[in-house]
Structure 1
Amino acid sequence: MKNISNYVTNLNFEYAITYSGLRGKKFHDLKEVNEKEIKRIKKELASSRYVQIPKLNKQIEALEEEINIYRALIIDKNETFHKSTEKVYKFEKEDKQLQSILEILNTKFEEQTFAMCPPVFRDAIVFYSNEHKIIRILQLCFSCWWIKDENNQDIQVDHKIFPLLKHKLIEVGHKIEEE
């Protein structure tokens, strides 16, 4: 497991953008549309020919996966954003608010608490190069205090950073729910 301080120390980026997803009206609407489509496909399955069944089952799986908050990510390993993802705030490299967030992330590691709930990564900080390519991704779960990187690997963090980080992201427009 990576340590967040090492991760932050080795960041070389031009700007960062925060994103939010898997919440709010956009996600609610997506969920509603997918659930209706799943019902429609299930009805179609009842009268389908045998050769059509695998294709229809794959469609159902894909629709279910898209709205499964425990498996979906704001941005996946292929750098594809979830349909519910919204850009919240863009920071230039020297932005004081971003520097404050990086200082929070760089807090000396003292202890890690492991929550018993499965994480739901509804917030992300994405770091970009000057060529506008994604360099690093931090996916954040504020309900169980968990962070994953761009490779979907867990990052070791001191749980005390989460209230501070949550406050900073709310300041720039994230709609983080109270847990």
Structure 2
Amino acid sequence: MTNSITSSHYIKSLAFDYVETHSLQRGDEYEAAIQVLKPELYNLKVRKEKRNNLTDTEEIRLNELDALLSVTQYLIDDTGRFHFSSQRTNTFQYGNEAISLLKNILLTKTTDVSNWMCAPIYRDAIVFYKSSGEIVSALNICLSCEVMAIGSSCQVVADCSTYEMLRKFFKDIGHPVES
């Protein structure tokens, strides 16, 4: 079951000292890695289904690849590891004007919500930190589907206009964004 919270409730509930923006699941290096990993996953799956003769190491690798390629990917997985393709693009301290802008974007009143029927591909994320370096929250964003999530169990619902403002925000800070 998935819970949900509005973007304004989400940002109001966070106590943080700085944020990082991250880009993931994009670029030539990522595409090259996927071209290697998908056949490896396929071959291990076929061997398991047909002969069921995987070694313990191969079974572990199958599970790793399955988790990495077969489901919606988030910036940070259940074990606390960042996605292999993630790249930090910016860091902003709490008083920075970029943080004020981001907060205002997320505080946009939610009145018109998109309901695309596609599976989100989270290529953009914002990580909120305490000064100690402890992660407070990670907001995964799919600008194509206009969906945000804190993880697999909680969606962040936002107004349609929020996503256009987030796209502009990311572009303005030099973060790569698809058209």
Which TM class, normalised by the smaller chain length? 0.7 to 0.9
Name the amino acid aligned to 1:142.
L
Shift of 1:39: 6.3
Aligned position for 1:107: 108
How many residues are paired up? 175
Aligned position for 1:125: 126
Instruction: State the secondary structure of the residue aligned to 1:149.
Output: strand
What percentage of residue pairs aligned between the two structures are identical? 25
Distance in 2 between residues matched to 1:102 and 1:53, nearest whole Å: 49
Residue 11 of structure 1 pairs with residue 14 of structure 2? yes
Aligned position for 2:68: 66
Name the amino acid aligned to 1:103.
N
Greater Cα offset, 3-12 or 50-59 = 50-59
- Output aligned runs, 1:2-41, within 5 Å: 2-38=5-41, 41=44
Instruction: State the secondary structure of the residue aligned to 1:169.
Output: helix
Shift of 1:50: 5.1
Aligned position for 2:97: 96
Shift of 1:18: 0.5
Shift of 1:77: 3.4
Greater Cα offset, 111-120 or 15-24 = 111-120
Distance in 1 between residues matched to 2:44 and 2:79, nearest whole Å: 27
Aligned position for 2:135: 134
Where structure 2 has 5 or more consecutive residues not aligned to the other structure, the ranges are none
CA contact under 8 A between 2:74 and 2:151: conserved in structure 1?
no
Name the amino acid aligned to 1:164.
M
Where structure 1 has 5 or more consecutive residues not aligned to the other structure, the ranges are none
Instruction: State the secondary structure of the residue aligned to 2:160.
Output: coil
CA deviations 1:31-70 (Å, max 9, x no partner) are: 1231353466579x49x975536764553353244234x5
Distance in 1 between residues matched to 2:13 and 2:45, nearest whole Å: 49
- TM-score, normalised via structure 1 length: 0.85
CA deviations 1:144-178 (Å, max 9, x no partner) are: 10010156411111111111111111122221112
- TM-score, normalised via structure 2 length: 0.85
Name the amino acid aligned to 1:153.
C
Distance in 2 between residues matched to 1:2 and 1:132, nearest whole Å: 25
Instruction: State the secondary structure of the residue aligned to 2:103.
Output: helix
